[in-house]
Amino acid sequence: MPAKRQATQQLTTTFPRVGTAMAFLAQITFTACVWQTYTQGLWRHLRRPLPMSTLNDMFGAQTSVLSFLNLDFFRQSTLGYIMALFAWSLILPPFFTPGTLVIYDSTDQVKTSRLVPYLAIANSTNAHSFAFSPSIKGDRFSFADVLTRVFNGPRTIVTMLSTATASPGTILSIPRPANHSSYSLSFFAPAVQCAEANATTTELIKQAVQAEMVRSSTGRIFQKENAYYAFVPSTDPDNVVAGAQDDVRFQAPSRASNEIWMAFQRYDNTTTNKNCDYKPYYQVCSLWNATVDLNLSWESDFQNITGKTTLMHQVPYPSTDEAPGTITEMSTHAYAAYFWALSNQLVGSFALFQENITETENRLFPLIRCPIQHNSLLGSSDLNVFFDYNEETGACQKPYANLSAQRRQDVDVAKGRTMGELIEELAFNLTVSLMHNDLLT
C-alpha cells in the first residue's frame, strides 16, 4: 500500500480582523486601567481642604476636557493632571488619525506531519466495510472466522455515498486537518475506463437492445426507438445477454460482472448534419485497479481536490463457485461492491414509445427508466437525441438559449461532455468521496 499515511500539512493563517480587534481591546483596557488608577489617587486630596471648583474639575476630568483649564487643578495634583491627560491621549487620536496600533496582514506557513485518512478499499482486512459478504455457512457472528465468503453486494454506506456523489456531480466534503491546510496522498483504489466496444461485444449489445425493446412492448404500446440502454452482462459465457442486469440491483448473490455495456444514439458530427442524423454508438466501461494520486487543500470552507489515476489491471468479478475452505480475496469483493454501487447509477433505458389508440391515431411519448434522471449525467451530449425526440426536424441545430431552463441547467452541469467522459469522472469522484466516511478510511 503506497499510501502516505503521514502527509505534510501546510497551514496558512491570516490575522487582519482578529489583530485589529485585539489591538482595540488592548487600547480600551489600558485606558480603563489608567482612569481607575487616577480615580483611586484622587481620594488622597480629600484629606486637605480644596476649593469646590477644583475638586469638581478633578472628578470631572474623565468626562470633560474643559477641566484641564483649571490651573489650580494642575497645582494641587500635578501627577493626577498628567495621568488624566495621558488617558485622554489614548482615547482621542483614533477619532482624528489612523489607529495608534496598526496590524499588518501577514501569512504564516507551517509544515507539520499528521495522520491523514486514505481509502482502505485495497486492504483485505477492511473489505468487510465495503462489501456484504457472509460466509458460506451464514452470516451469524459465530461464522465470522469462516474464510470462504459469498459476495452479495455493497454495504449500505457505499450505496448511500454513490447516490450522494452522483446527484450533484461533485466530490463530497473530506475531513480536513485545519481550515487552511493542504497535503498530497497516494493509494490503491478502483477506477473505471470506458472505450468503444469491439465487434463481438457490439453484436451482443445489439441483441440485448432488441430483446429489451421487445420485452418493454405490451399490447397497444411498443418501443419505437431506443436512445440509451445500459446493463451489466452476466459472467456466464453462454448466457451473457439473457443474464444481463438492466435494473438497479439489490443485495443477493448473482452471476454479474465488473463491466457496463451500453448503447446510445449519437448525432453525426462529421458533416453539417442539418437533418440531425444520428447513429448508434456501443461502449464498454470496465473496473480497474489503479494508483490514485491526490492533492487536497482547504481555504476556509472551500475544498479543492485534484488528482490523477494510473490504471494497473482489470479487476475480475468475485467467483460464486468457491469451494468450502477457499480463502476468499476480500479486496476483490470490495472493488466489486464499489462497481455495483456505481453501475446502479447507470443501468436502464431512455426510449421513445408509441401508443396505437386507433387504427389511424397514435401518440408518441418518451420514457426514462434509468437512475440517470436523478444524477449529473443527465446533461450528457449522448442523451441529446432522446431529448430531441419530441422536437421538430433539425432540433440538434437549436441554439442553447432556446432550450428549456431545466435542460440548460442539466447541460451546464455536464458541460456538454460524452457519456464515457462523465462516467470516468463520476468514478473518480466516487473513489474520493468514499473518504468522506470514517468507516471506509
- What is the band of 270 on the pLDDT scale with cuts at 50, 70, 90? low
Of 120, 109, 117, 114, give the one whose Cα is nearest residue 7.
114
Given a cut of 70, whether residue 273 has pLDDT beyond it is no
C-alpha cell at 192: 473505471
* Bigger pLDDT: 15 vs 416: 416
Q: Which residues have CB under 8 Å from 264's CB, separation 6+? A: 227, 228, 229, 280, 281, 283, 350, 382, 383, 385, 419
Integer Rg of the chain from CA: 36
**Better pLDDT: 88 or 19:** 88
Mean pLDDT of 16-23: 64
Is 380 or 17 the better-scoring residue by pLDDT?
Answer: 380
Q: What is the mean pLDDT of residues 356-378?
A: 86
DSSP-derived secondary structure for 82-125: HHHHHHHHHHSHHHHSS-SS------EEEEEEEE-----TT-GG
Q: Domain limits of the chain?
A: 16-96, 116-440
The residue behind cell 468521496 is 433
Q: What burial letters (b/e) apply to 361-378, b meaning 16+ CB within 10 Å? A: eeeeeeebbbbbeebbbb
Q: How far is CA 228 from the centre of its chain?
A: 27
State if pTM tops 0.85: no
Residue 110 vs residues 92, 105, 163: alpha-carbon distances, Å: 39, 17, 37
The pLDDT tens digits for 213-254 are: 888 888 888 888 899 999 999 877 777 776 678 888 888 888
Q: What is the pLDDT of residue 377?
A: 92
The region of weakest confidence among 119-128, 245-254, 267-276 is 267-276
Residue 438 pLDDT greater than 80, yes or no: yes
- Residue 151, pLDDT > 80, answer yes
54 pLDDT above the threshold of 70: no
pLDDT tens-digit readout, 371-424: 999 999 999 989 988 888 877 777 777 777 778 888 888 888 888 899 999 999
Average pLDDT over residues 334-348: 93
Cα(151)–Cα(165) distance, integer angstroms: 24
Instruction: Return the SS3 of 413.
Output: helix
Cell of 65: 476636557
Top-confidence residue, 128 or 6: 128
For the chain, report the end-to-end CA distance as a whole number of angstroms.
Answer: 13
- The length of the chain is 441
Candidate from 79-83, 164-168, 206-210 with smallest mean pLDDT:
79-83
Pick the residue with more confidence: 160 or 389? 160
Cell numbers describing residue 368: 426514462
Average pLDDT value for the chain? 81
d(CA 306, CA 185): 11
Q: Tell me the C-alpha distance between 367 and 365, whole Å.
A: 7
**So what's the pLDDT on residue 146?**
74
pLDDT at 148 over 60: yes
